[in-house]
Amino acid sequence: MQWHDRAIILGVKRHGETSVIAEVMTHERGRHLGMVRAGRSRAMQPVLQPGNEVEVTWRARLDEHLGEFRIEPLTLRAARLMETATAVYGVQAMGALLRFLPERDPHPHLFEALEVILDNLHNPADAGELFVRFELAVLNDLGFGLDLTECAATGARSDLAYVSPKSGRAVSRTAGAPWADKMLLLPSFLSSEENRAADIDSLNAAFRLTAFFLHRHVYEPRGVEAAAAREGFVQAALKALRAAATPDELPA
């Protein structure tokens, strides 16, 4: 058995004296594990860093075996990803999310989204917005997608202001007004009628929105806590965005 694919390194763990088990997100075959012989060598250690993009060749006698990777570097981002807190935490947090997906289950759109986010983690505004969209995409692939396109009560597609915590569907400002204190806010940058970048308030609301549904549908049923890296990323993104904001952009 053998195949070739592009992949992004998610993490490694030791295996024997000189080898490692590499965990990667591939374009065509989803999250995949494989042994890398001499993976702890000076030549391979810089390549096998989270966030780096590589070309992998996987070989095994049978498809269900762990198999071995032969890895060639394509895009080495790891050094740059260590320069900001959003990047350091972001790589870890996205890797933790991807581990909830079944191994070897194809998700090419998540691979492509991961590529884009890794190239923009240095910008807190872009990183925060892209990260939220990544969380929404993972929720969708796990079978818990949110419907933010129209009002659950009226079918309206304009003036969407809330998200129902029960259904995960958008609700218009008028229809949701009587229950506003029980609703989750729909950040303006996630609304289909808006075309604006995330600011501090909307990004904060977006992090609360995805955290709520991740906890309900992903963490709580499995009896696990959210990865500490997620909170680290959230705080780093908001802090960096706050530091870059002009006085009139800051929350009152």
Query: Is pLDDT above 80 for 173?
Result: yes
Looking at the fold, whether 128 and 102 belong to one and the same domain comes out as yes
Domain for residue 123, yes or no?
Answer: yes
Helix (H, G, I), strand (E, B) or coil at 70: strand
Domain for residue 158, yes or no?
Answer: no
Range of the domain at 141: 83-148+186-245
Looking at the fold, whether 120 and 193 belong to one and the same domain comes out as yes
CA distance 179 to 198: 25
Looking at the fold, whether 115 and 212 belong to one and the same domain comes out as yes
Strand partners, 21: 13, 35
Q: Whole-model pTM?
A: 0.93
Looking at the fold, whether 68 and 89 belong to one and the same domain comes out as no
Domain for residue 112, yes or no?
Answer: yes
Looking at the fold, whether 14 and 93 belong to one and the same domain comes out as no
With a CB cutoff of 8 Å and minimum separation 6, the contacts of 199 are: 241, 245, 249
Query: Average pLDDT of 68-72?
Result: 97
Last residue in a domain, options 34, 50, 75? 75
Give me the helix-helix angle, 85-98 and 124-141, nearest 10°: 0
CB 56 within 8 A of CB 5: yes
Query: Average pLDDT of 209-222?
Result: 97
Looking at the fold, whether 200 and 144 belong to one and the same domain comes out as yes
Looking at the fold, whether 41 and 90 belong to one and the same domain comes out as no
With a CB cutoff of 8 Å and minimum separation 6, the contacts of 17 are: none
Look up the CATH number of the domain holding residue 27.
Answer: 2.40.50.140
Per-residue pLDDT at 222: 96
Query: Is pLDDT above 60 for 97?
Result: yes
Domain for residue 105, yes or no?
Answer: yes
In whole numbers, what is the pLDDT of the chain averaged over residues? 93
Range in 107-116, 125-134, 191-200 with the lowest mean pLDDT: 191-200
Per-residue pLDDT at 250: 56
Last residue in a domain, options 50, 75, 100? 75
Looking at the fold, whether 116 and 41 belong to one and the same domain comes out as no
Looking at the fold, whether 44 and 97 belong to one and the same domain comes out as no
Domain for residue 179, yes or no?
Answer: no
Work out how many domains the chain is built from and give that number. 2
Around Cβ 99, how many Cβ atoms within 10 Å?
A: 14
Looking at the fold, whether 118 and 195 belong to one and the same domain comes out as yes
Looking at the fold, whether 66 and 87 belong to one and the same domain comes out as no
Looking at the fold, whether 191 and 214 belong to one and the same domain comes out as yes
Give me the percent of the chain exceeding a pLDDT of 90. 87
Last residue in a domain, options 75, 93, 124? 75
Domain for residue 90, yes or no?
Answer: yes
Residue with the bigger pLDDT between 246 and 16: it is 16
Q: Model confidence at 243, in pLDDT bands (50, 70, 90)?
A: confident
Q: Encode pLDDT of 130-150 as tens digits.
A: 999 999 999 999 999 999 999
Q: Encode pLDDT of 184-214 as tens digits.
A: 999 989 987 666 778 899 999 999 999 999 9
